[in-house]
Every structure is written in C-alpha cells, then in structure tokens.
C-alpha cells in the first residue's frame, strides 16, 4: 500500500460517490481512507449500498467534519451543490477534485442565477480548473482545485469543442437533445423517480432551464470569445446508466459532415477514451456502459447546411466519477488510464 495515495470521498451515499468508490477499489494507486455521508454516519457502505457487501474492508461512514485532512492526499467532493463548496472551502492540505456544480461556473452571479443561492466560496472560482480532461491537461498538473464538468456538458463539449475551435460549425443554432439514464437524477426521494413512474416511459424535464445549460455555454463562449446561447433539452430514459446527445449544428459555408469527421478524427486519434466510430455507425450507450469511454460520430442532416453529431458516455463514469479519477491521474502524474481500463459491460 505504500505507493498509494490516501483519498477521502465526501458524499459517499449518492450514486456518484458510490461509483467513485467502485472505481477507486480497482485503482492501483488509491487507498480509500475516509468516506463521509452525514445522514448515514456510523453505517458501513454495505449497509447503504448492498453491492459493497463483497468489499467489507471499506471505512465506516463518518460526518464530513470528522475527517482529519492532514492524513489525506486527495479529496473527492460528491456532495450536492452549495454543500460542496461550503465544506471544501475549509479544506487545507489535500488536493481537491470536486464533482459538484459549485466550481464549474466561473461567474458567481451566473451561479447565483441558476442555482438560486449565493456562491459559498466565490474567491475560489479563479483557482478552480474546469476538468474536462482532454481539454485541461496543462492546467491539471499543478491544480489544487479541479471542478469536474457536469455529465451533459462532458458529452456536449467533447463533441462540440473541436468543431468550434476548428471554426467548422456555427454557434448560433446549436441544438442539443439529450437522453439520460435515471441514475443521473440522483438517489434523492422523489415520487417522480420511483420505478413504476419511470419504467416503460420517457419524458423531457427542465425544458429550457436545465442547470447544465450555462455551463456548456460558458465553455463554448470561451472558445469563440463571444456569448453563445444553446438549446438543450434533457430527457429521462428508463435505464440506469448512459447518456446520449444528438446535436444539430450549422455548417460553415463549404464545410461538409465529412469535414467534421476529419476534425474529430484528428483531434481524438490518440485519445484513450474518446473514439470516433466508423462512418454510419450510430453511437449507443451500450457501447460505453460502466466504462470511461466516449463514442461519437457525425451524420449528414437532410436539411442542407447542417450536420448531426451524436455522442455517448456513461453518465456516472466519464460523465462523473471516471473523469474525476482521470483528472486525479493527471494531477498526480500517472498514466491517465490508470484504474480506468475496464471494458464496457455488455449486455
């Protein structure tokens, strides 16, 4: 165990926290030292997560304030927004990888507008590195505080950033239609998340007001140096994991769907986790289930001058805990794929 870093997970009683623990158990350089879940303090992980019964050596859950930070090398924040920044702003010592929404938006007033509360730690916003790994490598190495993107922005930006940076698509009419498995909605008790309400059905939610929207806009705007507004409509699909985004873009004059493929092919040729599929193959969430991979492809649209980009990830892995570990690997100078090599689980 001597070559392992000691990690803490704040909020281990949510799906994101649990999936981080799952991945950490298989990571050769991580030692799970502390797990917090305030409402469940004193219980074991197996008590609240039956799939951890075969892993009885996990630390007992404690309250966040009970964690002795000086023994921890890295802390993963898997808490709800506001709570996360509230606690993490007091953490000294460990490097911080936050999976909440608190450090994603660079402008505290935009945060307040979308999240409904004043930002708990606005002075940290400048320091936070936006951890979309493939686009943040330089900054990650020495970062103290990394903010992992939301699941929807991860998929959207992996598809769009190379195209926007290459100047091959417009940014005026980007339309993102997103599908998510139900784990993305969290483990909170709402009757809308009961099995019988969701099975055998699908619906859109938060239409025109989902909080991942300003995050996607922020990152696109940074690249084009002007404000971008996108259309984004998320839907819940009766499955546990997986996220699929079907994105309609307007092509710059003279550009074809094939050109978009070329841009993505070049950009991701050497990426271990992002894969352009062969011509005509539609991305499916089953191609990436349980893995840190992302698959994407480009299709001609029937409307002239447009193209359709489709991208799939596992919302809990590349969209959350897997990317957090990918960032950690980078921060600590290890191979980025360490602990994330597992092939997708299908069927």
| CA 285/CA 254 separation, integer angstroms | 32
Cα distances from 157 to residues 121, 174, 187, 245, 334, in angstroms, run 26, 12, 26, 11, 24
Nearer to a copy of itself, 127 or 197 (CB): 197
Catalytic residue among 78, 148, 151, 294: 151
For the bound state, the minimum distance from the C-beta of residue 232 to a copy of itself, rounded and expressed in Å, comes to 7
Question: What burial class does residue 204 get, using C-beta atoms within 10 Å of its C-beta: 0-12 exposed, 13-18 middle, 19+ buried?
Answer: middle
Q: In what order do the strands lie in the sheet with 145-147?
A: 61-62, 30-36, 5-10, 74-77, 95-98, 145-147, 129-130
* Minimum distance, C-beta of residue 345 to a copy of itself, in the bound complex (Å): 5
Nearest approach, Cβ of 116 to a copy of itself (angstroms)?
17
Task: Identify which of residues 153 and 242 has a Cβ nearer to a copy of itself in the complex.
Answer: 242
**Which of 145, 237 has the CB closer to a copy of itself?**
237
Q: Which H or E run contains 21?
A: helix 15-25
d(CA 277, CA 129): 30
Cis bond leading into 347, ω under 30°? yes
d(CA 105, CA 214): 8
- 106 versus 193: smaller Cβ distance to a copy of itself: 193
Helix 151-166 vs helix 213-224: crossing angle, to nearest 10: 20
- Look up 148 and say whether it is catalytic: no
Question: Considering beta carbons, is residue 166 or 204 the nearer one to a copy of itself?
Answer: 204
Minimal distance in Å, beta carbon 269 to a copy of itself?
A: 12
Q: How far is the CB of 280 from a copy of itself (least distance, A)?
A: 8
Catalytic positions: 151
């Amino acid at each position: 165990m001597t070559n392992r870093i000691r990690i803490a997970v704040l909020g281990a009683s949510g799906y994101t926290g649990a999936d981080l623990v799952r991945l950490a158990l298989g990571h050769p350089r991580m030692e799970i030292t502390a797990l917090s879940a305030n409402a469940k303090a004193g219980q074991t992980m197996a008590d609240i997560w039956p799939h951890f019964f075969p892993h009885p050596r996990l630390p007992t859950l404690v309250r966040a304030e009970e964690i002795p930070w000086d023994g921890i090398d890295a802390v993963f924040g898997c808490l709800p927004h506001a709570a996360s920044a509230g606690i993490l702003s007091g953490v000294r010592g460990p490097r911080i990888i936050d999976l909440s929404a608190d450090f994603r938006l660079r402008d505290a007033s935009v945060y307040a507008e979308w999240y409904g509360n004043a930002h708990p730690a606005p002075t940290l916003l400048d320091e936070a590195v936006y951890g979309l790994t493939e686009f943040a490598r330089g900054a990650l190495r020495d970062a103290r505080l990394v903010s992992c993107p939301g699941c929807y922005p991860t998929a959207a930006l992996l598809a769009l950033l190379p195209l926007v940076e290459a100047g091959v698509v417009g940014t005026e009419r980007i339309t993102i239609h997103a599908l998510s498995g139900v784990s993305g909605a969290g483990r909170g008790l709402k009757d809308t998340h009961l099995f019988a309400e969701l099975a055998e059905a699908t619906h859109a939610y938060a239409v025109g007001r989902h909080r991942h929207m300003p995050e996607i806009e922020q990152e696109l705007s940074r690249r084009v140096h002007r404000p971008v507004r996108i259309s984004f409509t998320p839907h819940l699909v009766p499955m546990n994991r997986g996220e699929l985004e079907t994105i309609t873009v307007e092509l710059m004059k003279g550009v074809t769907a094939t050109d978009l493929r070329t841009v993505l092919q070049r950009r991701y040729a050497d990426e271990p986790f992002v894969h352009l599929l062969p011509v005509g193959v539609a991305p499916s969430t089953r191609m990436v289930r349980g893995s840190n991979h992302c698959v994407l492809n480009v299709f001609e649209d029937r409307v002239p001058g447009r193209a359709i980009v489709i991208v799939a990830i596992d919302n809990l892995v590349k969209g959350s805990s897997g990317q957090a570990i990918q960032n950690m690997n980078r921060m600590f100078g290890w191979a980025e794929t360490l602990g994330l090599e597992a092939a997708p689980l299908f069927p």
